[in-house]
C-alpha cells in the first residue's frame, strides 16, 4: 500500500479495500461494491448519498481515524439545501474525499438495497429492488438523452417511451424515471427526487391501500374504503349471479370498483401529503372475481365448474386504462392468480408469509366466505380453496353479526356451572368485571361476531353442554339452566339483558358452524393427503378474521388441524403486505410468478376424498384425529371411539369432559 492508499471499511456491509487520496467516498464505495443511493449523479443536490464517517480506534479493522482523514466540507456541501437535511456528523459521499484510513457507515436511507422494516404493515424483512429509479442527467445543447445517460451513468440499452418529451431546466439538467432498467417512462426539468407507488388489496368487502416512497420503501399513508360492489351482492357469488342475470352487469361492477380505487388514491395522497402525479407504480391484488372485475373481464366462468380464469399470469396495465388518475405513465401491476378460486390475493399472502421457505410442513389459511389454503413441505407447495360460506362472518347464525361495536367477541364458559363470561368488541372489561354494564350501555350487546361464535361453540363443547357431534343439550350433555328447549332442539342462552334482549346459540347455529369448519378442515386434510403428511409444523392465519380468532379455540372447534399452539400465528393483512412487497421489489414480482407456476392446484370439489374428510370433520373437534399439540395446553373431553355406525351411533353414547377446568390457556 503506497502512502497515497488508504484502507476504507464500509459498515454495515463490512466491505473493505484501498482508496487513493482524493477519491470521493461515493467512488470508493462503488468500487468496493457498496451500493450508495444517488439521483443527481454526484452533483451534490439530491442528498441521497449521505454517509456517516466514524472516528476513533477500530481495533477490529486495524484503523485509527480522525476528521483529518476526510476532506473538509467544501462549497457544495455547505450550500446543500435539499429535501434530506445533512444532520450533524453526516457527509455527502459524492463530495467528501478520502485523505486517510476510514470507517464509514452507510445509513439505511442511503443504501440502494436497503432492508425495509415496517410496523404499520408487516412486510417482514424485505430487500428493496426498485422497479423505477430516478436519474438526474445533464444535457448539453442538442445532446441525445440516451447518449448523455450512457456517458454520465454508464447506462446502455435503454429505450425512451414513445412520445416522451425530455426538457432540461435552465442549467441543462433533467430527471428521468427508468422502469425495469429498460425504459425511460417519465421526465422532469431539473431535479426530481421522489416517486411514489401504491399497493392495494381489493377485498370483496373492503379495499385497503398503502402509499409508499418507492426509493426508500417508506410507507407514507394507509387508507381503506368499502368496496361499493356490495350494493350488487354481499358475497362474491351473488355478484357473479348479478352479472349472469343482468346483461352488462360486469361493466357496472367494474366501474364501481375502479371509481372506488380512484377515490382511494385521492385519500392516500391527501393523507400522505403527496400529489397524484407522483404516483408512477401501483400493485393490485384480489381474489379471482375481484381480479376479473377490476380488469374488465367476464367473471361468470368463475361461478361454475371448472372455474376457468381468463387470465392467470401477472398482468400490467396503465393506470389510464383502469380509470385511475395518477402520473400519465403510471403502471398497474396485478399479481398472478393461482387457480379459479385462489387468486392474486393468495399469491400476495404467499409472498408475505413465504411458507415454501419455512422449515417443515407449513399451512397458510385465509378465511373468508371462501377459505384459501396453501400447504408447503417436502419441496412442494399446494393450494386449494374451500367453500366455508358466510357463517364465520355472522351470516346464517341466529344472532350473528359483523365485527362491529356491540358484538360478543370473546366467550368463556365455567364448566362447573355452565355460566358464561363474555367480552364485547371495543369494551375492555369482561361481563363479570366492574365497569362492564356502564361500558356497554352505549352500544348494548347486539349479537355475536365470527370470533365469538367460534369461542362459544368450542366452550360449549369443553363445558360438556354440547356433544362431539354438535348436539346442544339433551341426555348426553351436562344439565344447565342455560340450556333451554328451542322447538324440537335445545339452545344455549349466552346473554340475557333482562329486557327481552336475549342472545341464543341454537342447534342450527352450531350446525352452520360445523358445516363451515368441516369444509375448511376437509380442504386442509385433502392437501395434507396430497403432500403425504400427517402433521403440521406451523399454521399462519391470514386476513382480518384469522387475526381475530383465538387459535386454541379454533383448534378445539376443529377449524384447523392440531399443531403446537405456539406455532399457530395470526399474520394480519398478509395480502396487503404481499402487494406492498411486490410494489417495492421487482425481484419479488419475478419470484411469485415462478412460484405460482409451480404451485400444485387442487380442486376440492373434484376430489372424492374431500367428502370423507368433510364427514369426519363435522365432529368437534374431529371424529378420529388426535391432538398432541393441543394437549400441551388443555385436555379435551374424551371422545367415543370411532365406529362404523357413524355419527348417529356415536351420538347415542354418553360423553363428558374429563376434567372440570382443564384450560389454563383458554381461560386467559
Residue whose CB is less far from ligand FES, 47 or 355? 47
Residue whose CB is less far from ligand FES, 40 or 131? 40
Q: Which residue is nearest to ligand FES (CB)?
A: 94
Helix (H) or strand (E) holding 345: helix 344-353
Q: How far is the CB of 84 from ligand FES (least distance, A)?
A: 9
Stretch that binds ligand FES, among 40-48, 110-118, 400-408, 643-651 (CB under 6 A): 40-48
Select from 78, 602, 118 the least CA-distant residue to 373: 602
Residue whose CB is less far from ligand FES, 168 or 334? 168
Q: Which of 7, 9, 40, 290 binds ligand FES (CB under 6 A)?
A: 40
Residues 6+ apart with CB under 8 A from 143: none
Helix (H) or strand (E) holding 293: helix 288-294
Cβ–Cβ < 8 Å for 177, 133: yes
Stretch that binds ligand FES, among 35-43, 112-120, 539-547, 640-648 (CB under 6 A): 35-43
343 binds ligand FES (CB under 6 A): no
Stretch that binds ligand FES, among 39-47, 437-445, 567-575, 629-637 (CB under 6 A): 39-47
* Residue 113: other Cβ atoms inside 10 A: 13
Q: Which of 7, 19, 28, 42 binds ligand FES (CB under 6 A)?
A: 42
Residue whose CB is less far from ligand FES, 46 or 515? 46
Give the CA count within 13 Å in the CB-facing half-sphere of 193. 16
How far apart (Å, rounded) are the C-alpha atoms in residues 134 and 46? Answer: 11
Q: Which of 45, 202, 280, 440 binds ligand FES (CB under 6 A)?
A: 45
Q: What sign does the CA torsion over 481, 487, 490, 493 have?
A: negative
Bridging pattern class, strands 407-413 and 420-424 = antiparallel
Count residues binding ligand FES (CB under 6 A).
Answer: 12
Which cell numbers in the block locate residue 21?
Answer: 487520496
How far apart (Å, rounded) are the C-alpha atoms in residues 224 and 518? Answer: 32
How far apart (Å, rounded) are the C-alpha atoms in residues 480 and 474? Answer: 10
Q: Write the DSSP assignment of 173-191 as a string of letters.
A: EEEEEEETTTEEEEEEES-
Q: Which of 8, 9, 34, 46 binds ligand FES (CB under 6 A)?
A: 46
Residue whose CB is less far from ligand FES, 195 or 427? 195
Residue whose CB is less far from ligand FES, 49 or 347? 49
Of 80-119, binders to ligand FES (CB under 6 A) are 92, 94
Furthest-apart CA atoms within the chain: distance in Å: 98
525 binds ligand FES (CB under 6 A): no
Q: How far is the CB of 138 from ligand FES (least distance, A)?
A: 13
Q: How far is the CB of 30 from ligand FES (least distance, A)?
A: 11
Residue whose CB is less far from ligand FES, 39 or 579? 39
**Site of grid cell 393441543:** 630
Residue whose CB is less far from ligand FES, 84 or 118? 84
Residue whose CB is less far from ligand FES, 26 or 187? 26
Burial pattern 590-602, b for ≥16 Cβ within 10 A else e, equals ebbbebbeebeeb
Residue whose CB is less far from ligand FES, 48 or 412? 48
Task: Name the β-bridge partners of 354.
Answer: none
48 binds ligand FES (CB under 6 A): yes
Q: How far is the CB of 82 from ligand FES (least distance, A)?
A: 7
How far apart (Å, rounded) are the C-alpha atoms in residues 303 and 305? Answer: 7
Of 302-331, binders to ligand FES (CB under 6 A) are none
Q: How far is the CB of 98 from ligand FES (least distance, A)?
A: 15
44 binds ligand FES (CB under 6 A): yes
Q: How far is the CB of 155 from ligand FES (least distance, A)?
A: 16
Task: Name the β-bridge partners of 484.
Answer: 491
Residue whose CB is less far from ligand FES, 39 or 342? 39
Residue whose CB is less far from ligand FES, 43 or 179? 43
Helix (H) or strand (E) holding 493: strand 489-496
**Site of grid cell 403510471:** 330
Q: How far is the CB of 22 from ligand FES (least distance, A)?
A: 17
Residues 6+ apart with CB under 8 A from 611: 522
Helix (H) or strand (E) holding 554: helix 551-557
Q: Specify burial of residue 358 (Cβ count, 10 A radius: 0-12, 13-18, 19+).
A: middle
Stretch that binds ligand FES, among 41-49, 203-211, 237-245, 432-440 (CB under 6 A): 41-49
Q: How far is the CB of 80 from ligand FES (least distance, A)?
A: 7
Q: Cα 152–196–192 angle (5° rounding)? A: 40
Q: Specify burial of residue 182 (Cβ count, 10 A radius: 0-12, 13-18, 19+).
A: exposed
Stretch that binds ligand FES, among 2-10, 42-50, 117-125, 553-561 (CB under 6 A): 42-50
Q: Which of 7, 29, 34, 49 binds ligand FES (CB under 6 A)?
A: 49
Residue whose CB is less far from ligand FES, 194 or 258? 194
Q: How far is the CB of 40 from ligand FES (least distance, A)?
A: 4
Stretch that binds ligand FES, among 38-46, 443-451, 480-488, 603-611 (CB under 6 A): 38-46
Q: What is the DSSP letter of 358?
A: S
Q: Which of 38, 346, 514, 573 binds ligand FES (CB under 6 A)?
A: 38
Q: How far is the CB of 193 from ligand FES (least distance, A)?
A: 8
Burial pattern 66-100, b for ≥16 Cβ within 10 A else e, equals eeebbbeeeeebeebebebebeeebbbbbbbbbbb
How far apart (Å, rounded) are the C-alpha atoms in residues 220 and 215? Answer: 12
Phi and psi of 167, rounded to 5°?
-120, 130
Q: How far is the CB of 29 from ligand FES (least distance, A)?
A: 11
Stretch that binds ligand FES, among 45-53, 250-258, 452-460, 545-553 (CB under 6 A): 45-53
Q: How far is the CB of 115 from ligand FES (least distance, A)?
A: 21
Q: Which of 47, 209, 336, 473 binds ligand FES (CB under 6 A)?
A: 47
Residues 6+ apart with CB under 8 A from 17: 7, 8, 28, 31, 32
Phi and psi of 109, rounded to 5°?
-70, -15
Of 189-208, binders to ligand FES (CB under 6 A) are none
Binding site for ligand FES (CB under 6 A): 38, 40, 42-49, 92, 94
Amino acid at each position: 500500500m503506497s502512502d497515497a492508499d488508504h484502507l476504507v471499511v464500509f459498515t454495515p456491509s463490512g466491505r473493505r479495500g484501498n482508496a487513493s487520496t482524493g477519491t470521493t467516498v461515493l467512488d470508493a464505495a462503488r468500487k468496493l461494491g457498496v451500493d450508495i443511493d444517488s439521483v443527481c449523479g454526484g452533483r451534490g443536490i439530491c442528498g441521497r448519498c449521505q454517509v456517516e464517517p466514524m472516528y476513533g480506534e477500530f481495533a477490529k479493522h486495524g484503523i485509527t481515524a480522525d476528521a483529518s482523514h476526510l476532506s473538509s466540507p467544501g462549497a457544495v456541501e455547505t450550500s446543500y439545501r435539499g429535501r434530506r437535511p445533512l444532520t450533524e456528523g453526516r457527509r455527502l459521499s459524492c463530495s467528501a474525499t478520502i485523505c486517510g484510513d476510514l470507517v464509514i457507515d452507510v445509513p439505511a436511507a442511503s443504501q440502494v438495497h436497503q432492508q425495509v422494516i415496517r410496523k404499520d404493515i408487516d412486510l417482514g424483512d424485505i430487500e428493496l429492488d426498485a422497479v423505477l429509479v430516478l436519474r438526474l442527467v445533464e444535457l448539453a445543447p442538442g445532446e441525445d438523452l440516451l447518449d448523455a445517460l450512457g456517458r454520465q451513468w454508464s447506462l446502455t440499452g435503454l429505450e425512451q417511451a414513445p412520445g416522451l418529451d425530455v426538457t432540461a431546466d435552465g442549467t441543462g439538467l433533467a430527471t428521468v424515471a427508468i422502469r425495469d432498467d429498460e425504459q425511460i417512462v417519465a421526465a422532469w426539468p431539473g431535479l426530481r427526487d421522489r416517486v411514489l407507488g401504491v399497493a392495494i388489496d381489493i377485498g370483496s368487502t373492503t379495499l385497503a391501500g398503502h402509499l409508499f416512497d418507492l426509493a426508500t420503501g417508506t410507507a407514507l399513508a394507509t387508507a381503506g374504503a368499502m368496496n361499493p360492489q356490495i350494493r350488487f351482492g354481499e358475497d362474491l357469488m351473488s355478484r357473479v349471479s348479478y352479472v349472469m342475470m343482468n346483461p352488462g352487469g360486469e361493466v357496472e361492477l367494474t366501474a364501481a370498483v375502479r371509481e372506488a380505487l380512484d377515490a382511494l388514491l385521492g385519500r392516500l395522497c391527501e393523507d400522505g401529503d403527496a400529489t397524484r402525479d407522483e404516483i408512477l407504480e401501483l400493485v393490485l391484488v384480489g381474489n379471482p372475481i375481484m381480479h376479473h372485475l377490476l380488469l374488465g373481464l367476464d367473471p361468470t366462468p368463475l361461478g361454475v365448474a371448472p372455474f376457468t380464469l381468463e387470465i392467470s399470469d401477472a398482468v400490467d396495465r396503465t393506470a389510464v386504462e383502469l380509470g385511475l388518475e395518477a402520473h400519465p405513465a403510471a403502471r398497474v401491476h396485478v399479481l398472478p392468480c393461482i387457480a379459479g378460486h385462489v387468486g392474486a390475493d393468495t399469491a400476495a399472502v404467499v409472498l408475505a408469509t413465504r411458507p415454501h421457505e419455512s422449515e417443515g410442513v407449513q399451512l397458510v389459511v385465509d378465511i373468508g366466505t371462501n377459505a384459501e389454503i396453501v400447504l408447503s413441505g417436502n419441496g412442494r407447495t399446494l393450494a386449494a380453496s374451500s367453500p366455508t360460506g358466510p357463517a364465520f362472518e355472522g351470516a346464517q347464525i341466529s344472532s350473528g353479526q359483523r365485527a362491529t361495536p356491540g358484538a360478543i367477541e370473546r366467550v368463556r364458559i365455567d364448566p362447573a356451572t355452565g355460566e358464561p363470561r363474555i367480552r364485547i368488541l371495543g369494551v375492555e372489561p369482561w361481563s363479570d368485571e366492574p365497569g362492564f354494564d356502564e361500558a356497554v350501555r352505549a352500544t348494548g350487546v347486539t349479537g355475536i361476531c365470527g370470533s365469538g361464535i367460534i369461542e362459544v361453540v368450542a366452550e360449549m363443547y369443553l363445558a360438556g353442554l354440547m356433544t362431539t357431534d354438535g348436539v346442544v343439550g339433551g341426555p348426553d350433555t351436562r344439565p344447565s339452566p342455560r340450556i333451554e328447549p328451542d322447538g324440537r332442539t335445545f339452545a344455549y342462552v349466552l346473554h340475557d339483558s333482562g329486557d327481552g334482549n336475549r342472545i341464543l346459540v341454537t342447534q342450527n347455529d352450531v350446525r352452520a358452524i360445523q358445516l363451515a369448519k368441516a369444509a375448511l378442515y376437509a380442504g386442509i386434510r385433502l392437501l395434507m393427503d396430497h403432500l403425504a403428511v400427517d402433521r403440521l409444523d406451523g399454521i399462519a392465519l391470514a386476513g382480518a378474521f384469522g387475526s381475530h380468532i383465538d387459535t386454541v379455540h379454533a383448534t378445539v372447534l376443529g377449524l384447523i388441524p392440531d399443531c403446537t399452539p405456539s406455532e399457530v400465528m395470526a399474520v394480519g393483512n398478509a395480502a396487503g403486505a404481499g402487494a406492498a412487497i411486490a410494489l417495492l421489489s421487482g425481484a419479488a414480482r419475478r419470484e411469485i410468478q415462478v412460484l405460482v407456476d409451480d404451485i400444485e392446484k387442487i380442486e376440492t370439489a373434484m376430489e372424492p376424498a374431500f367428502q370423507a374428510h368433510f364427514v369426519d370433520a363435522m365432529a368437534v373437534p374431529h371424529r378420529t384425529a388426535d391432538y398432541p399439540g393441543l394437549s400441551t395446553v388443555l385436555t379435551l373431553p374424551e371422545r367415543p371411539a370411532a365406529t362404523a355406525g357413524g355419527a348417529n351411533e356415536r351420538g347415542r353414547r354418553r360423553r363428558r369432559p374429563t376434567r372440570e377446568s382443564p384450560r389454563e390457556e383458554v381461560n386467559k
